[in-house]
Chain A
Amino acid sequence: MTIKEVQDNIIEEFSLFDDWMDKYNLLIDMGRELPVIDPKYKVKDFLIEGCQSKVWLHPSYDGKLISFTADSDAIITRGIVALLIKVLSKRSPDEIIATDLYFIDKIGLRQNLSPTRSNGLLSMVRQMKLYAMAYNAKNK
């Protein structure tokens, strides 16, 4: 699936629910399904600044694609992390850098998460793109 297709799928999934509680329940479920991160990466080096709850994000690069694993101590945050991983993991650095994450607005995440959360979400995206840029720079 392309990044666009994955985003459109997420938008469709969230559009099934009108009530915000149901949307949160979906996020919570997604958080629970997030594959576990290797505990050795749950350290300060992989902790993302800007989140009020803790988020650990670990990248790995096989020369073509970047894979991310991540975790958070709060479940709703973990759901958001799971969404971002769905969209941005196992992609090339160029794809990650160029991606416009329109699904965040479309499913109402930006407005409906508190401002600090929203910042956390943006920090996560920024960190993923920074890793992609770093790997790209190494390639050149």
Chain B
Amino acid sequence: MRDIADIRADFPILSRKVYNKPLVYFDNGATTQKPQCVLDAVDEVYKSYNGNIHRGVHFLSDMSSEGYEGAREKVRSFINAGRKEEVIFTSGTTGSINGIAFSFGERYIKPGDEIILSRLEHHANIVPWQMMCQRKGAVLRVIPINDNGEIIPEDYHKLLSKKTKLVAVTQASNALGTVLPIKEIIEAAHSVDVPVLIDGAQGIQHGFVDVKALDSDFYVFSGHKIYGPAGIGILYGKEKWLSELDPFQGGGDMVDKVTFEKTTYNQLPFKFEAGTMNYPAAIGLATALDYVSGLGRENIAAREKELLLYATDRLSAIKGLKIYGTSGKKISTISFLLKDIHQYDTGMILDKMGIAVRTGTHCAQPVMDYYRIDGTVRASLCFYNTLEEIDSLAEGIEKVKSMFG
């Protein structure tokens, strides 16, 4: 992998200061920073070839459409989908899940049917299913977790039944960092003919995703968490599902023929992309994926493992610090609390030292309820972070302890 100083130089924001202190950015689970090439790609769209996609006869529209469709092909290849028609652009993970929950619910769900989630889900992979269940009279079933923050596979197997219509689980817990055994989850569901949606929001940026090898029916993720722009996300779905499902939004571009009596829908992928899509962000996302491939996904995974191990060692050595999420399989995210010190007090003081962490429930209240806590401090690291920054965090935590102890 390239030298770390060299890599950091690709990200303009990493050299800024906050409160006159060097920025230590440990909130990558919320959003990642952008390399210059992504900023340039988006800039370039607006500067030199901005035109609305798929509808013009003119030069600029053609060029934008080409960029946008090129981006779709990049995403296809990045996740190893079979066809680019299986790659739908959305506004983000939340948009993707809401869309599928609606369309899948309308098409297949009847009263008494069941959807299985895990206790580790982000609210974005709970609430849309809950809304659909309320509409359809269906029921959510939840895979429980153990004290390490891992799902309990035997309980999952017990939940799978004739009533199960879909399993929707996260690839990695945003609150604790736990990586879920998604391959096994998918295999078990498929053995009883149940499709699976994987929420890849916290997964794809940390390693390989091969939707074909996984045999995942749906796979969703957000651009801004993998070094791309905000406002763009992906909904991958197997063609057999996407062809059967009706669109979750109506509007321009997604139609074949419109009369006031009846509308017929456009072909895949366009039937799911109503209205003007965020094509500059899609093009930025493709550049981000190129950047990630350029660094090497196995290199990123190896480097982040090193950061996770070092940070876990450093933080575990701090007296009174408890780490939540102690699975052997984790992304580079560490959730913790200091004895008798509120997470907001910790976060506030760390912020004053230039260290950006997230505090609170991380949109995963059921996880917090499991541990009977109101929230945690979360440091989510990625490849551009350094061991020195982890040292700063450890020193910062000692400072917090001395102020509140």
- Chain A residues with Cβ below 8 Å from B360 are 52
Q: CA–CA, A24 to B404, complex, Å? A: 10
Q: CA–CA, A28 to B400, complex, Å? A: 12
| B349 close to chain A: CB less than 8 A | yes
Q: CA–CA, A113 to B348, complex, Å? A: 8
Distance from A78 Cβ to chain B, minimum over Cβ atoms (Å): 9
- Chain A residues with Cβ below 8 Å from B309 are none
Q: Known contacts being A20-B19, A28-B403, A52-B360, is A75 close to B345, with CB within 8 Å?
A: yes
| B344 close to chain A: CB less than 8 A | yes
Q: CA–CA, A77 to B19, complex, Å? A: 21
- Name the one of B341, B352, B374 contacting A24, with C-beta atoms under 8 angstroms: B352
- Chain A residues with Cβ below 8 Å from B344 are 52-53, 74, 76-77, 117
Per-position binary interface string of chain B over residues 342-365, scored 1 when its CB falls under 8 Å from any chain A CB and 0 otherwise: 101101110110000001100000
Name the prevailing secondary structure of the B interface residues.
helix
Residue of A nearest to B361 (CB): A52
Q: Known contacts being A20-B19, A25-B403, A75-B404, is A114 close to B342, with CB within 8 Å?
A: no
Q: CA–CA, A20 to B360, complex, Å? A: 23
- Chain B residues with Cβ below 8 Å from A73 are 342, 374
Instruction: Please determine whether B352 and A53 come into contact, CB atoms closer than 8 angstroms.
Output: no
Q: Known contacts being A24-B403, A52-B360, is A76 close to B348, with CB within 8 Å?
A: yes
- Chain A residues with Cβ below 8 Å from B348 are 24, 76, 113-114, 117
Q: CA–CA, A20 to B350, complex, Å? A: 12
Instruction: Indicate the member of B348, B374, B403 with the most A CB atoms within 10 Å.
Output: B348
| A21 close to chain B: CB less than 8 A | yes
- The 3 A-B pairs with the shortest beta carbon distances in the complex, nearest first, are A74-B342, A74-B344, A53-B344
